[in-house]
Chain A
Amino acid sequence: MNRIVTLLAAVSAAALAANAGEAKTLRWSANTDIATLDPYAHTESFTTAMLHHVFDPLVRRGRTMQLEPALATGWKAIKPDTWRFELRRGVKFHNGNAFTADDVVASVTRLIDPATRAKGNLSAVIKAEKVDDFTVDLVTKGPYPLLLNDLAGIYIMDKEWMEANGALKAGNISTGATTAASTSAIGTGPFKLESYKPDAGTNMVVNADWWDKPEHNVTRIEFKPIKSDATRVAALLSGELELIAPAPLQDLARIGAASGFKVIEEPALRLIFLGLNHRPELLAMPGQKNPMLDLKVRQALWHAIDLDAIQKRVMRAKSRNTGTLVAPPVPGYAQANDALLGYDPEKAKKLLAEAGFPNGFKTGLACPNDRYINDEQTCVAIAAMWTRIGVQTELKTESRATYFPRIDKGEVDAFMLGWATLPPMDGFSVLSALLTEPKEAYGGSNRMGYVNARIEELTRLAAVELDEPKRRAMLVEALKIARDTVAYIPLHQQPVAWAARSGVEVPQFPDEYVRLWFAQVK
C-alpha cells in the first residue's frame, strides 16, 4: 500500500514538474473574511491588506516596510500645507483605462467625503487638485508630517469606472445607499479580482500588465476564510491549502512536526499592555481615594508581574517582553525606553507599604477573551500575581463586542489593550490616541484620566513638525515620560505566526499584512 502511495506521489510530482513555469495557484486562509471590496467603506486592516493585491496606493510599504514610490514616482512639499505628487505614466487599470491625475482626484474626493466610512484614514487632507494629467497637489489642514504614511493605505480607484457604476460616492449606512464598489473591484494592482463570495472565497488572477516588475511567481490566488481554528489547521494538513495566516499558537508544534509543513513567525507590531485608572476613585473602592494615583502603587503593580513566566507558559515562548509602548520598527521607538522594570514581588510589596497600602487594596481587571493572542490566560496569570502582593484583583473577561464599548466608557479599573500604531505605523498614534486628554482630535482611546502637561505639549508640537529627526525626538521624549509615570504597564509584543506547505515562500511583515506579490510557490 505504502509503495503504491509513494508511486502515485512520484507520478503526480512529475506531472506537476512538467507544468513548472505555468500555473502556480496559492490557496490560503485566514480566520476572517474581508468586509467589503470598497476600499473606503471599511476601517479593518485585514481588508486593507487583501485589497492591496487588487489596488495600488500612491506610495507603498516595501520589503523592509520602508515607504517607496508606487503610483506616484516622486513628491515634495511645495508649501507647508501642499504636497505635489508626480504620477507614474503608462499605468492601466484592470479594465484597460489609463491611470491619470483625474483618478487620484476622484479617489481622494470620494474618500474625504463627510459620509465616507474611512474618511479618518486621510483626515489631514482637505482637497486634491489636478495640476496636469500626471501631477496632483494634495492640500492639508496645516503642516502634516504623516501624509505619506497615510497615503500608503489609500488605494486609487478608476474614475471612469466609478462614474459608469454610480460609485463616485462610497456606500453610506445612514442612508442605506450601497454601491457597485462593495462587490466588484477595478484597480491597478498585481492581481485582478476574479470572483468574490462572502465567507466562501475570493479568487484573483495575476495581472500580466502590472506596471511593476513582479517578484512573485503566483498566477492565481484563492482566498478561503475559515473561522474555526481547528478546521483551518486541518485544511492545511489535508493539502487543501498552501498557507494559513494566522496559525493558532496551540497548534504550532503539531504543524511544525508534520512533514511537508512549516511554521513561520515574526514579532508583530502589536504590543499588549495594561491600562490603569487615573481618575479620583477606583470602581472597586467607591468613596475612597484611588491608590493607583500614587506612582509607587503603579510601579508596584508593574514589579509584581512576572513577564518571563507569562512569556514561557502562556505565550509558549513566542512573544517578546517589552518595556515601552511601541514596537522596534515604529518611529518613536528607543532602546532606552524599552528596558523592563523587572519582576520583584518583594520590592512591589515595599512600594505598596510606602504608598500607605501595606495590606494592599481592591481592584478590577478587565480583559477581552477573543481579541488578542491568549488574552484571557495572560490576565488570569496577572490577576494571580497581583493577588500575591496583596492587591485583591477581581478578573472579568468578556467578548470584544462588549469589552471595547466598556473601555470606551471607562467602566474599568485596570484593563488590557493592544496597540499596533496602524495604519500610519508611527509612534504618534500612541501619543494622540492613548496619552492625551480626550479633546478634539486627541485622546480617542484614553478614557482613564491620564493627563500629562508635557505630553500634551509634545503631541501638539509633533503633529505639525516636518523635520523628521526633531519629530522623532519628541515622540521618544513623550514615551519616556509615559514610562516614567507608568501611564500604562507594557507587557509583550505579539507574534505573527503563519503556517505553510514546504516550498511556499512568503515573507512576513510586522504589520501582519499578507503580501502575496512577494510569494514564491514551488
Chain B
Amino acid sequence: MLRFLIARLGQAALVMLAVAAVSFLMFRFVGDPVAGMVREDASVQEKAELRQALGLDQPVLVQFGRFLGRTIRGDFGVSYRNQRPVAALIAERLPATLELVLMATLLSLALGIPLGVLCALKPDGVAARLVQAVSLIGISTPTFVTGIVLILTFAVTLGLLPSFGRGQTVQLGPWSTGFLTVSGLKALVLPSITLALYQLTLIMRLVRSELIDVLSSDYIRFARARGLSLRRIHFTLALRNALMPVITVTGLQIGSLIAFAIVTETVFQWPGMGLLFIQAVSFSDVPVMAAYLLFVGLLFVLINTVVDLLYAVVDPRLRVKAS
C-alpha cells in the first residue's frame, strides 16, 4: 500500500511539473505583457526598461528556471496589471467560485437524480420523453447562450433576479460568503442554474441508464418474486446501487466545473477565479494566468489521486497488482 501511495504521489508531481512547463511555455506565445503595460506614447527606451525589470530579456530557460524556483517556494509572483501578490488575488476569488460550484453541484444532484429515476421507471411516459428531449437541449446549448437567455427572462423581462454580480456578501475571516444575505442568495440562482445545466443532464442520463441496468439484474427479480413493495425495490434496493458511479462522476466533475466556470463567471460578472483568469488573458498578465492553470492542474491531480487511492482501498485487486 505504501509503495502504491508513493508511486501515485510521484506521478502526481510529474504531472504538475508538466502543467507548469506547458503553462509557462504557452504564455510565451499569448502576447507580450509589455505592450499592455506602458503608456500609449511610451518611448522605445521605456519599453526596454520595463522588459528588463520583468526579466523578459532573459533566455526562456532561465525564465522557466526562475518561475519554477519561485513556484516551489510557494511564491506565485506579483500580478503585472495591479501589482498585488497573485496568491492573495486567487485567495480573494476562491470563495466566489467554490460557492457557485457547490450550488451547481447540489442543484444538479437534487434535480438530476429524481429526473433520472423518473426516466428509468417510466421510460414510455410523456413526462420522461419530455425530460429526455429537453435534456438534449440542455447538453447542446452553449453556456453563454443559456446565461443570456436566463438574464433576459428573469432579470430584464420579469425583474425577479439580478443579472450580474454576487449581491451583498458577508466577510467571515478570509472567506466572503453570499449564503447569508437575501441578495447574495438571489444572485446565486441564475449563475448556478447556468453552470449546473450540463452536469444536471449528465447525472440524469447516468442515473437513468444505471438504474435500468440494475433493474434488470437478478436480485431485483428475486425481490419482486418475494413480493416486496415496488417502492422498496426501486428506492432502497435498486437506486442505492445505481448511485455508486454517480458519486464518482460527480466528484470528478467538480474539477471541471471549477475550470468551466470561466464562461459562466464572465456572463454573470461573477467575481471568481474564472473571471480573474479571463481578465488576466486580455492583459497578458502572465503570473496570474500561470498560477490559475497550476491551481486548476493541482485540483485535477488531487481529485484523481484521492479517487485512485479510494479505489485501492475499495478494490483489493489493485493493491495486489501494485505489490
Q: Which A residues fall within an 8 A CB radius of B?
A: 32-33, 35-36, 38, 41-43, 115, 117-118, 120-121, 171-174, 176, 178, 182-183, 197-201, 224-228, 230-232, 234-235, 237-240, 370, 399-402, 404-405, 407-408, 419-424, 429, 432-433, 438-445
- The interface stretch among B75-83, B123-131, B234-242 is B75-83
In the complex the two chains form, is A33's CB within 8 Å of B279's CB?
A: yes
The 10 A-B pairs with the shortest beta carbon distances in the complex, nearest first, are: A401-B31, A405-B32, A404-B35, A171-B83, A433-B41, A200-B271, A174-B53, A444-B43, A199-B271, A36-B82
Question: 11 other contacts beyond A201-B165, A224-B269, A405-B31, with CB at 8 A cut-off?
Answer: A43-B38, A173-B83, A174-B53, A176-B75, A200-B269, A234-B152, A238-B156, A400-B36, A401-B282, A440-B44, A444-B47
A201, B187: Cα distance in complex, Å: 14
A186, B33: Cα distance in complex, Å: 29
In the complex the two chains form, is B162's CB within 8 Å of A198's CB?
A: no
Checking A43, A238, A442 against B159 with a beta-carbon cut-off of 8 angstroms, the contacting residue is A238
In the complex the two chains form, is A408's CB within 8 Å of B47's CB?
A: yes
In the complex the two chains form, is A444's CB within 8 Å of B165's CB?
A: no
In the complex the two chains form, is B84's CB within 8 Å of A183's CB?
A: yes
A117, B43: Cα distance in complex, Å: 14
In the complex the two chains form, is A408's CB within 8 Å of B41's CB?
A: no
In the complex the two chains form, is A227's CB within 8 Å of B279's CB?
A: yes
In the complex the two chains form, is B43's CB within 8 Å of A442's CB?
A: yes
Checking B40, B75, B82, B269 against A227 with a beta-carbon cut-off of 8 angstroms, the contacting residue is B269
In the complex the two chains form, is A227's CB within 8 Å of B275's CB?
A: yes
Asked if B108 CB lies within 8 Å of chain A CBs, one says: no
In the complex the two chains form, is A423's CB within 8 Å of B39's CB?
A: yes
A35, B280: Cα distance in complex, Å: 11
Could you say which residues of chain A place their CB within 8 Å of the CB of B148?
A: 230-231, 234
A34 to chain B, nearest CB (A): 8
Could you say which residues of chain B place their CB within 8 Å of the CB of A429?
A: 40-41
In the complex the two chains form, is B35's CB within 8 Å of A405's CB?
A: yes
Asked if B284 CB lies within 8 Å of chain A CBs, one says: yes
Asked if B229 CB lies within 8 Å of chain A CBs, one says: no
Q: List 27 A-B contacts (CB under 8 A).
A: A35-B81, A38-B83, A41-B82, A43-B42, A117-B83, A120-B39, A120-B42, A172-B83, A173-B54, A178-B78, A178-B83, A200-B271, A201-B165, A228-B266, A231-B268, A234-B155, A235-B164, A238-B155, A238-B163, A370-B282, A400-B31, A404-B36, A405-B35, A408-B34, A433-B42, A440-B43, A443-B44
Asked if B276 CB lies within 8 Å of chain A CBs, one says: yes
Residue of A nearest to B155 (CB): A238
In the complex the two chains form, is A120's CB within 8 Å of B46's CB?
A: yes
A231, B45: Cα distance in complex, Å: 41
Could you say which residues of chain B place their CB within 8 Å of the CB of A423?
A: 39
Q: Are A199 and B35 also in contact (CB < 8 A) when A238-B163, A401-B284 are?
A: no
In the complex the two chains form, is A441's CB within 8 Å of B45's CB?
A: yes
A-B interface pairs (CB < 8 A), number: 178
Could you say which residues of chain A place their CB within 8 Å of the CB of B92?
A: 198
Checking B32, B156, B165, B282 against A408 with a beta-carbon cut-off of 8 angstroms, the contacting residue is B32
- Residues 273-295 of B at the A interface (beta carbon under 8 Å): 275-276, 278-279, 281-284
Asked if B245 CB lies within 8 Å of chain A CBs, one says: no
Asked if B55 CB lies within 8 Å of chain A CBs, one says: yes
Q: Are A174 and B55 also in contact (CB < 8 A) when A404-B36, A405-B32, A408-B47 are?
A: yes
Could you say which residues of chain B place their CB within 8 Å of the CB of A33?
A: 279
Q: Are A176 and B269 also in contact (CB < 8 A) when A36-B83, A200-B165, A240-B155 are?
A: no
A422, B39: Cα distance in complex, Å: 9
A182, B29: Cα distance in complex, Å: 29
Q: Most chain-A CB neighbours within 10 Å: which of B31, B163, B276? A: B163
Could you say which residues of chain A place their CB within 8 Å of the CB of B156?
A: 234, 237-238
In the complex the two chains form, is B53's CB within 8 Å of A422's CB?
A: no
Q: Are A198 and B89 also in contact (CB < 8 A) when A228-B267, A231-B269 are?
A: yes
Could you say which residues of chain A place their CB within 8 Å of the CB of B53?
A: 115, 172-174
In the complex the two chains form, is A178's CB within 8 Å of B271's CB?
A: no
B52 to chain A, nearest CB (A): 8
In the complex the two chains form, is B83's CB within 8 Å of A199's CB?
A: no
A96 to chain B, nearest CB (A): 26
In the complex the two chains form, is B164's CB within 8 Å of A224's CB?
A: yes
A419, B39: Cα distance in complex, Å: 12
In the complex the two chains form, is B82's CB within 8 Å of A401's CB?
A: no
In the complex the two chains form, is A41's CB within 8 Å of B42's CB?
A: no
Could you say which residues of chain B place their CB within 8 Å of the CB of A401?
A: 30-31, 35-36, 281-284
Could you say which residues of chain A place their CB within 8 Å of the CB of B80?
A: 173
A35, B279: Cα distance in complex, Å: 10
In the complex the two chains form, is A121's CB within 8 Å of B39's CB?
A: yes
A4 to chain B, nearest CB (A): 14
Asked if B94 CB lies within 8 Å of chain A CBs, one says: no
Asked if B151 CB lies within 8 Å of chain A CBs, one says: yes
A118, B37: Cα distance in complex, Å: 9
A473, B313: Cα distance in complex, Å: 84
B146 to chain A, nearest CB (A): 12
Could you say which residues of chain A place their CB within 8 Å of the CB of B40?
A: 419-420, 422, 429, 433, 445
A404, B36: Cα distance in complex, Å: 8
Residue of A nearest to B55 (CB): A174
A49, B12: Cα distance in complex, Å: 47
A225, B32: Cα distance in complex, Å: 25
A438, B47: Cα distance in complex, Å: 12
A109, B267: Cα distance in complex, Å: 42
Could you say which residues of chain A place their CB within 8 Å of the CB of B152?
A: 234
Asked if B166 CB lies within 8 Å of chain A CBs, one says: yes
Could you say which residues of chain A place their CB within 8 Å of the CB of B89?
A: 198
